[in-house]
Amino acid sequence: MSKRLLIVAHTPSPNTQQLLQAMLRGAHHPDINDVFVVHKPALQAVPDDIRACDAILLFTTENLGYMSGALKDFFDRCYYPVLEEKQGLPCAIVIRAGHDGTGTRRALDTILTGLRWKQVQEPLVLRGEWRDGFIAEAEEAGLYMAAGLEAGVF
Ligand SMILES: Cc1cc2nc3c(=O)[nH]c(=O)nc-3n(C[C@H](O)[C@H](O)[C@H](O)COP(=O)(O)O)c2cc1C
């Protein structure tokens, strides 16, 4: 049966929308045949989306030293409903931060530790002024999650 990769993203700007598209492109790499990729905006993702997935990729901006309110709302709504049944869920983080990113990374580490989800790649922090190179990094993050899921390495 196909494995399911869930991408939960908050993309308030054209740059962040491009990054999401890059992650989706990576996850849909033509060599990966047995992974079903689902994208949900953070404000629309619900506990059943998490229950149904085999791995999750989280993408947020850093705003005011923290993750976006949208991703925080996702955790506020989903944390307890999935806490017992999704321990060990493979996950990864991508942060777009205009100049920092550490507050968001720290906050996500704390929440993911509480959930006992397993970070399977180093958080990707796309920091500073926009660079076109971010797109390849985001694409790689999507590819890595889908390829790892298909290969059963997580
Ligand atoms: C209200 C607001 C607060 C922000 N706070 C931070 C912050 O604390 N740290 C940071 O690194 N970037 C901050 N930023 C910059 C955003 O992270 C950045 O603009 C966003 O990720 C979108 O990226 P883009 O400008 O490339 O589209 C802030 C942006 C806004 C609008």
Which domains, from first to last, does the chain contain? 3-151 (3.40.50.360)
Instruction: Tell me the pTM.
Output: 0.98
| Residue 12: pLDDT over 80 | yes
Per-residue model confidence (pLDDT) at position 1:
77
Probe residue for ligand 1, chosen from 13, 15, 61, 135 as the CB with the greatest number of ligand atoms within 8 Å:
61
Residue among 8, 142, 125, 141 at smallest CA distance from 78 = 8
CA gap 70, 10 in Å, rounded: 7
Mean pLDDT of 110-130: 98
What b/e readout covers 20-49, taking b as 16+ CB neighbours within 10 angstroms? Answer: bbbbbebbeeeebeebbbebbebeebebeb
Q: Which residues line ligand 1 (CB under 6 A)?
A: 13, 15-16, 61-65, 96-101, 130
Local confidence band at 25 (pLDDT 50, 70, 90 cut-offs): very high
Residue among 135, 139, 125 at smallest CA distance from 37 = 139
> How remote is the CA of residue 66 from the centroid of ligand 1, in Å?
10
Mean pLDDT of the chain: 98
